[in-house]
Amino acid sequence: MIEKRDFYINGQWVAPAKANDFEVIDPSTEEVCAVISLGDQADTDAAVAAAKEAFKTWSVTSKEERLALIENILEVYKSRNEDLAQAMSMEMGAPIELARNSQATSGSSHIKNFIRAFKEFEFDRMLGDHAPNDRLLYEPIGVTALITPWNWPMNQVALKVIAALAAGCTMVLKPSEIAPLSSIIWTEIMDEAGVPAGVYNMVNGDGMGVGSQLTSHPDVDMISFTGSTRAGIAISKSAADSIKRVALELGGKGANIIFDDADDKAVKRGVRHMMQNTGQSCNAPSRMLVQRGVYDQAVEIAREAAEKTAVDVASKEGHHVGPVVSELQWNKIQDLIKVGIDEGARLVAGGLGRPEGLNKGYFVKPTVFADANNQMTIAREEIFGPVLTMIPFDTEEEAVEIANDTVYGLTNYVQTQNGERLNRVIRQMRSGMVEANGTSRAGGSPFGGYKQSGIGREGGELGIEDFLEVKSVSGWF
Ligand code: NAD
C-alpha cells in the first residue's frame, strides 16, 4: 500500500478539511492498493486562494526564473521515473514495461520539449512594418484549474502543469480520482524542485466534488481539461457563466484508412496500436477502414494479431496488455461488445468474458469485429477498450466520408504508398492530427482535436499559448 499523502496547498502537505476516504483499486487484482482523501469546497477554496495570491508574484517573474524551475523539475522527474512507473502500473493497470518506457517517460519528454519551445518563445512581439507602433504582449491568463484523466496520467499532467508554469499562470491540479497516486509523486517532484508556495497546488477529488467546484469557482480564470466529451460539455457550460477560458482535450474515434497499396505491416501495426494501453487512448485507431480488394486478407491478419496479443497482470515484465482500469469500464466494454454482436457485426477474435486463466482483474479479450458499418454503435462510440471495428470501403471518396462521419476529430491514420493520394486524403481529414504509414508525431508537435474532440492544442509553443492572453498595444515607445 502507498503511504497516504493529502493535498498540497500553498507549499505544504495539508489534511483535508473533512475526512473523506476513497479507495484506489489495483485493476490487475481488484484489491485496494491505496486510500486517498477526496476534497470538498473548503479544500478547493483554500487551493484557489493560494493560487490567486501567488499569481501576483509568479505572473511577473522573468523567463529565466521560470525556465530554471522547469529545468529543475525535469531533473527531479527523471530521478523518480521508476516510482512513477510503479504507481501508474498499479493504479491504472499499465504493464510495467509500458509504464516505465512510455507512460513515465512521456512526462519527461514533454518537459524537455517545453523547455525547447519556451526558450524560443517571444512574450513581446512587434506586429511588423505595416504597424510600426503596435506590439503584442503575451500575458498569463491567471489562476488555472487543471483537470486530468487516468489513462496516460503523467503525459496529461506534464502537458498542463509545465505549460501553465511557463506562461506565468498559477494552478490547482485535480487528477483523476481513479489514478491519483502518480500525481502525488508528481507533487513531491514539484516540491523538491522548489516550486514557490501557492504557484502549484494539488487537491484530490471527484468530478462532482472538487472538479465542479473548480470549474464554477469565481476566482478561477481558466480550465484546462482532458477527459470525456460528456464531462467536457458539462465543464464548458459551467465555465460559460463567467466566461472562463477553456482548453479541452476530449474523446476520439480515429479511423485508420488502409488502401490496397498499403505496406504489408499496416494491418498488424494498426492492431498493435489499437491494443496498446489496452485500447485506453484517446487517439486509438479504433475504426479500421480497409479497401475491398485487400479486405479479407486484412481481416485474417487482424484476427491472428488480436489472438496473439498476450494479456497479463500489469506487474509482469514483458510486452503484453494489462487490464482495463475499473469494473465500471469493464462492464461498459462488455455491454458494447454485446451490442456489436446484436447489431450484426462479425466477431472474428475475442468477445465477451475474461481471457482464459485470468479470472480476477478487469481483463478483456483483445477483440476484433469485421463487416461492420459506420452506423453501428461500435463504430460511433468511444469504447476505450481493446476492441477494433473493421469496415470495408471501395473508393477514396467513400473512405474519407466514413472517416469524417463522426462527432469526433482527434487523430486519423492513412496507409498508402501513393503520395498524391496520401496528400489529398490528409487535407480532407477533419481531425487535429493525421499520421501516415506508421510515422508517429514528434514530441512537442501540437496535440488536440477538431469538432467534439476539443478546443486548443497541447505541447510545445501552442501549448504555452493556450495559457496566455494577448494584449495589443499601440503607442509604446
Ligand atoms: P472523465 O471525463 O470521466 O474524467 C476526467 C477528469 O474529469 C477526472 O479527473 C474527473 O474526476 C473529472 N470530471 C469528471 N466529470 C467532471 C465534471 N462534471 N466537472 C469537472 N471535472 C469532472 O474521463 P476519464 O474516464 O478519466 O478519461 C477517459 C476520457 O478521456 C476518454 O474519453 C478519452 O478519450 C479522454 N482523453 C482525451 C485525451 C485528449 O488529449 N484528447 C487524452 C486522454 C484521454
pLDDT band at 1 (very low <50, low <70, confident <90, very high): low
Instruction: Taking residues 249-271, report their average pLDDT.
Output: 98
Output the residue whose Cα is nearest ligand 1's atom 17: 207
Of the candidates 91, 169, 177, 282, the residue annotated as catalytic is 282
Q: Note the maximum CA span of the chain.
A: 74
Please check the confidence at residue 228 and state whether its pLDDT lies above 60: yes
Instruction: Taking residues 23-41, report their average pLDDT.
Output: 97
Yes or no: say if 91 and 179 are a contact pair by the CB < 8 Å rule.
yes
Instruction: Taking residues 168-188, report their average pLDDT.
Output: 98
307 counts as catalytic: no
Q: Is 344 exposed, middle or buried (0-12, 13-18, 19+ CB in 10 A)?
A: exposed
Q: What dihedral angle (degrees, nearest 10) is formed by the CA atoms of 471, 460, 413, 262?
A: 130
Residue with grid cell 457563466, as numbered in its chain: 241
Q: What is the residue-averaged pLDDT of the chain? A: 97
H helices then E strands: how many in the chain?
A: 16, 20
Cα–ligand 1 centroid distance for 12 (angstroms) = 27
Instruction: Taking residues 385-408, report their average pLDDT.
Output: 98
Other CB atoms within a 10 A radius of the CB of residue 416 amount to 22
Span of 4-13, 134-143, 158-167, 286-295 with lowest mean pLDDT: 4-13
The half-sphere exposure of 284 on its side-chain side, counting CA atoms within 13 A, is 26
Give tens-digit pLDDT for 134-163: 999 999 999 999 999 999 999 999 999 999
Please check the confidence at residue 227 and state whether its pLDDT lies above 60: yes
Nearest atom within ligand 1 for CA of residue 235: 19
Best mutation site among 92, 103, 176, 238 for ligand 1 pocket (most ligand atoms within 8 Å of CB): 176
Residue with grid cell 474519407, as numbered in its chain: 400
pLDDT band at 4 (very low <50, low <70, confident <90, very high): low
pLDDT band at 5 (very low <50, low <70, confident <90, very high): confident
Output the residue whose Cα is nearest ligand 1's atom 12: 207
Other CB atoms within a 10 A radius of the CB of residue 443 amount to 15
Give tens-digit pLDDT for 62-86: 999 999 999 999 999 999 999 999 9
Nearest atom within ligand 1 for CA of residue 227: 30
Residue with grid cell 514539484, as numbered in its chain: 190
Residue with grid cell 469557482, as numbered in its chain: 217
Please check the confidence at residue 2 and state whether its pLDDT lies above 60: no
Closest to 153 measured CA to CA, from 81, 203, 104: 104
Other CB atoms within a 10 A radius of the CB of residue 417 amount to 13
* Protein residues with CB under 6 Å of any ligand 1 atom: 147-152, 174, 176-177, 206-207, 211-212, 215, 226-228, 231, 234-235, 249-252, 282, 382, 384, 410, 449, 453-454
Give CA–CA dist 284/158, Å, rounded.
Answer: 20
Nearest atom within ligand 1 for CA of residue 150: 26
Which residues lie below 8 Å from residue 195, measured CB to CB, with a gap of 6+? 11, 69, 73, 165
Percentage above 70 pLDDT, the chain: 99
Of the candidates 91, 177, 249, 458, the residue annotated as catalytic is 249
Output the residue whose Cα is nearest ligand 1's atom 23: 227
Please check the confidence at residue 257 and state whether its pLDDT lies above 60: yes
Please check the confidence at residue 206 and state whether its pLDDT lies above 60: yes
Cα–ligand 1 centroid distance for 268 (angstroms) = 29
33 counts as catalytic: no
User: Which helix (H) or strand (E) segment is 246 a member of?
Assistant: strand 245-249
Cα–ligand 1 centroid distance for 151 (angstroms) = 9
Output the residue whose Cα is nearest ligand 1's atom 13: 207
Please check the confidence at residue 468 and state whether its pLDDT lies above 80: yes
pLDDT band at 443 (very low <50, low <70, confident <90, very high): confident
Q: How far, in Å, are 351, 352, 397, 404, 415 from residue 372 at the CA level?
A: 15, 17, 18, 16, 20
Collapsed DSSP state (helix, strand, coil) of residue 257:
strand
Instruction: Taking residues 230-241, report their average pLDDT.
Output: 96
Please check the confidence at residue 38 and state whether its pLDDT lies above 80: yes
Please check the confidence at residue 201 and state whether its pLDDT lies above 90: yes
Give CA–CA dist 453/410, Å, rounded.
Answer: 6
User: Which helix (H) or strand (E) segment is 414 a member of?
Assistant: strand 411-415
pLDDT band at 477 (very low <50, low <70, confident <90, very high): low
Instruction: Taking residues 220-234, report their average pLDDT.
Output: 97
Phi, psi torsion values for 270, nearest 5 degrees: -65, -40
Cα–ligand 1 centroid distance for 361 (angstroms) = 22
Please check the confidence at residue 124 and state whether its pLDDT lies above 70: yes
Instruction: Taking residues 439-456, report their average pLDDT.
Output: 94
